[in-house]
Structure 1
Amino acid sequence: MDTNLIFRLATRADLPAIVDMLADDVLGADREITGPTLSPVYEQAFEKISQDPQQELTVATLNGEVVATYQMTYIQYLAFKGGMRAQIEAVRTHSAYRGQGIGTKLFRYAIQRAREKGCHIVQLTSDKKRKDAIRFYESLGFVASHEGLKLRF
Structure 2
Amino acid sequence: MRKNSDLATSETFTNSAELSVVSQLDYFDHGIMKGESIGNYTVVEPDDFVYNPRISVAAPVGPINRNRLGRARVMSPLYTVFRTDETIDKCFLEHYFETTLWHGFLNLEGNSGVRSSRFSIAEPAFFEMLISCPIKAEQQKISSLLEHLDSLITLH
TM-score normalised by length of structure 2 = 0.29
Which of the two has greater strand per residue?
A: 1
- Comparing both chains, which one has the higher relative contact order based on Cα–Cα distances under 8 Å and sequence gaps of 6 or more? 2
Query: Which structure shows the higher helix fraction?
Result: 1
TM-score w.r.t. length of structure 1: 0.30
